[in-house]
Amino acid sequence: MSEQTSTFRALHQPGNPFILANAWDKGSARMLASMGAKAIATSSAAHAFTLGKPDMGHVSRSEAISHAQDLAAATPLPVSGDLENGYGDSPQDVAETILKAAEAGLAGACIEDTCLPSDRPYEFAKAVERIEAAVEIARNLKSDFVLTARADGVMLGTYDVKEAIRRLQAFEKAGADCLYAPAPGSLEAQAEICRAVSAPVNALAAGPFMQHSVQDFANIGVARISLGSALARATHRIILDAGKAMFGEGDFTAMSHSTSAGVIDPILAAFDK
Domain ranges in the chain are: 2-231
Encode pLDDT of 188-200 as tens digits: 999 999 999 999 9
Q: Give the mean model confidence (pLDDT) for residues 45-55.
A: 90
Helical spans, DSSP H, in the chain: 2-10, 26-34, 44-50, 61-74, 91-103, 124-139, 153-156, 161-174, 187-196, 214-219, 230-249, 261-270
> Given a cut of 60, is residue 184 above it in pLDDT?
yes
Encode pLDDT of 206-243 as tens digits: 999 999 999 999 999 999 999 999 999 999 999 999 99
The DSSP call for residue 197 is -
10-20 burial, b if ≥16 CB within 10 A, otherwise e? ebbebeebbbb
Distance CA 214, CA 225 (A): 8
> Given a cut of 90, is residue 58 above it in pLDDT?
no
The domain 2-231 having CATH identifier 3.30.420.40: the answer here is no
Question: Which residue from 82, 99, 81, 197 is spatially nearest to 140, judged by alpha carbons?
Answer: 99
Model confidence at 140, pLDDT cuts 50, 70, 90, reads very high
